[in-house]
Chain A
Amino acid sequence: MSQKITDSDSIKRYLLGELSGEELDAVELRMLSDADYYEQVLIADEELMHEFVNHELSARDRATFQKILLSVPQRRQDVNFVKAVEHYANKNAVQNVVPVKPVVVRRSWGEVVVAFFRRPAVGFACCIAFLITVAPALWLFRENRRLRNELAQFPSKQAALQVQLLAEKEKNRVLTADFERERALSEKGERESQQFPDREQQIVRSSQPAPESTSSLVTFAIALPGTREIGETNKVSFPPGAKKVRLNIDLAANDYKTYRVALKRNNAGRYVWSGPTERVIVESEKTTLPVLVPTSILTRAEYQLDVRGIASSGKSEPLATYYFRVP
């Protein structure tokens, strides 16, 4: 404080031209090197000019200052500016105070509010209040929104389930129809089997594989060579889920009790598969030899199917060769 008083006193004396020697050097050196001090000098100078304009200086100071002010053109400009500001302020005082005042008052309130909330205790209390009230409210709001969303999605889920149910019903109807058809075929087969002696049936049954599920069996007819147009090949295709393919081979005659077949792929030397056939079916002068081939054997290729008849002596004799293609 005393330093400030000393400063302001020495600055005033400097501005009135009353300093010399070391004191003068000290003030001017600080003006050059210390920005705050330099600003203090400028402020003190302005205030002196205002005091001069308003006749608030002592007679002695006024005389000294007037001499300095009026001797330098720049100082005259300084004091003219100060005089103009004083004149403007006094001329506009009444009309300007009223409209602008509320702006300042409003800011003052803002500052008061800000100052209030800057207190550590108030800040802490606000944090606690926030945790107690706002945080649970936010949680409830979030939960409420989630439940609303779920509720909104419910009709669409229900509709999807109904569609799925209808699809399942349709699937069930198709499966039932398939089952009925297979059962009819099975009964027909049994009726046909009663036409053969019991022993033969036992032999045939022992050589036949276990019955396959209807859904995994695909049936194809393969004609004798020469009965189709030259160049045309039997195509055998089956759905991805099928486990076995039934090949109905047209036989010229039924001269053997049992038959065996063997399969070659792409004219290779060795057989990729061989096995027994099912019982021969004779219907209206047409003899059909059913063969069940596992689909795992049938990759995309050209196939050659050799059919052999097994004589009662047990000797096998080649009968015919059939060709087909798995595309």
Chain B
Amino acid sequence: MTDTPENRPDDIQPEHLQDPAVNIAQKDWVMTSESLEELLLWLDPDRDSGGNLYEQIRSRLIRIFVYRGFIEAEEMADVTFNRVSRKATWLRANYKGDPFHYFKKVADFICMEYGKKVTDPLPDVLPDWKDEVDESEPVHNCLDRCILKLKPQERYMVIQYFEGDGHTKIVNRQKLAEKLGITMNTLRIRMHRLCRVLRKCVDDCLKSEMELHLS
């Protein structure tokens, strides 16, 4: 990134470091349809591609915030986008370089802001991890249902890939890769994508279970 002064507009700095008058205006500021349009066009001259890139960056930012240990990851991602879209017109006209660097910089500032907000630090002693499996938990019921939606071969792959432990597991995976005629790394990627489909299904299922429970 060319981290030049012109690429660092003042108002992306942490709010506690800025003029309070400016901060108030910025806190009240919400993304408008015009600023969103500007943002998408800055991301890509083709609006649809810009929309796809928007979704991509947002999901990755959420993951980054989660890995940094922030509970409000989604909110932080939205604040990041608000902050960037406020400058979208200026960015389209002046910014040189790819948008990822800019988002990263803004996300860093947002982390600093939210880091300051944490009043109760995490306790050193956390509740211990329970190894026992409670099959009455909704996640098991949802997983059973979602796995049944997979093709037989995919179901077989899930079982073969995660079955056993230690050396047995490694051997199972090697056999599976041989049967499918693929490398272990390809198998890892394929399993990850399969699990992502499963996870989406389980999340949707849990959400509908929760809504049913609340109603």
**Given A72-B73, A107-B180, 19 extra CB contacts under 8 A:** A33-B98, A39-B192, A41-B63, A47-B188, A54-B165, A55-B131, A66-B126, A66-B129, A68-B67, A70-B129, A74-B66, A84-B139, A85-B158, A85-B198, A88-B162, A89-B158, A103-B152, A108-B179, A111-B181
Show 20 A/B contacts (Cβ-Cβ < 8 Å), sorted by A.
Answer: A31-B63, A43-B192, A50-B162, A68-B67, A72-B69, A72-B70, A72-B71, A72-B73, A81-B143, A81-B199, A84-B143, A88-B162, A89-B160, A89-B161, A90-B163, A96-B156, A96-B159, A100-B153, A100-B155, A108-B180
- Are B103 and A89 in contact, CB atoms less than 8 angstroms apart? no
The minimal Cβ–Cβ distance linking B39 to chain A, given in whole angstroms, is 16
State the majority secondary structure of interface residues on A. helix
The minimal Cβ–Cβ distance linking B75 to chain A, given in whole angstroms, is 12
Is A87 located at the chain interface by the 8 A CB criterion? yes
- Are A87 and B179 in contact, CB atoms less than 8 angstroms apart? no
Distance of A93 Cα from B107 Cα, bound (Å): 44
Residues from chain A with a CB closer than 8 A to the CB of B56 are: 35
Task: Convert A56-92 into 0s and 1s, putting 1 for each residue whose CB lies closer than 8 angstroms to a CB of B.
Answer: 1000000000111111111101001101111111101
Task: Convert B85-117 into 0s and 1s, putting 1 for each residue whose CB lies closer than 8 angstroms to a CB of A.
Answer: 000000000000010110110011000000000
Distance of A74 Cα from B153 Cα, bound (Å): 30
- Are B195 and A85 in contact, CB atoms less than 8 angstroms apart? yes
Among B70, B104, B189, the residue within 8 A (CB) of A32 is B104
**Residues of B182-205 whose CB lies within 8 A of A:** 188-189, 192, 195-196, 198-199, 202-203
Is B144 located at the chain interface by the 8 A CB criterion? yes
Is B149 located at the chain interface by the 8 A CB criterion? no
Among B57, B126, B135, B161, the residue within 8 A (CB) of A71 is B126
Is B166 located at the chain interface by the 8 A CB criterion? yes
Is A199 located at the chain interface by the 8 A CB criterion? no
Residues from chain A with a CB closer than 8 A to the CB of B202 are: 81, 84
Is A168 located at the chain interface by the 8 A CB criterion? no
The minimal Cβ–Cβ distance linking B211 to chain A, given in whole angstroms, is 17
Residues from chain A with a CB closer than 8 A to the CB of B36 are: none
- Are B159 and A32 in contact, CB atoms less than 8 angstroms apart? no
Residues from chain A with a CB closer than 8 A to the CB of B188 are: 43, 47
- Are B152 and A88 in contact, CB atoms less than 8 angstroms apart? no
Task: Convert B157-173 into 0s and 1s, putting 1 for each residue whose CB lies closer than 8 angstroms to a CB of A.
Answer: 01111111110000000
The minimal Cβ–Cβ distance linking B131 to chain A, given in whole angstroms, is 8
Among A46, A47, A87, A105, the residue within 8 A (CB) of B140 is A87
Distance of A38 Cα from B64 Cα, bound (Å): 10
Distance of A31 Cα from B65 Cα, bound (Å): 12
Residues from chain B with a CB closer than 8 A to the CB of A301 are: none
Residues from chain B with a CB closer than 8 A to the CB of A103 are: 152-153, 156
Task: Convert A93-104 into 0s and 1s, putting 1 for each residue whose CB lies closer than 8 angstroms to a CB of B.
Answer: 100110111011
For B133, the closest partner residue in chain A by CB is A87
Is A25 located at the chain interface by the 8 A CB criterion? yes
- Are A100 and B152 in contact, CB atoms less than 8 angstroms apart? yes
**Given A38-B60, A100-B155, CB of A29 within 8 Å of CB of B163:** no
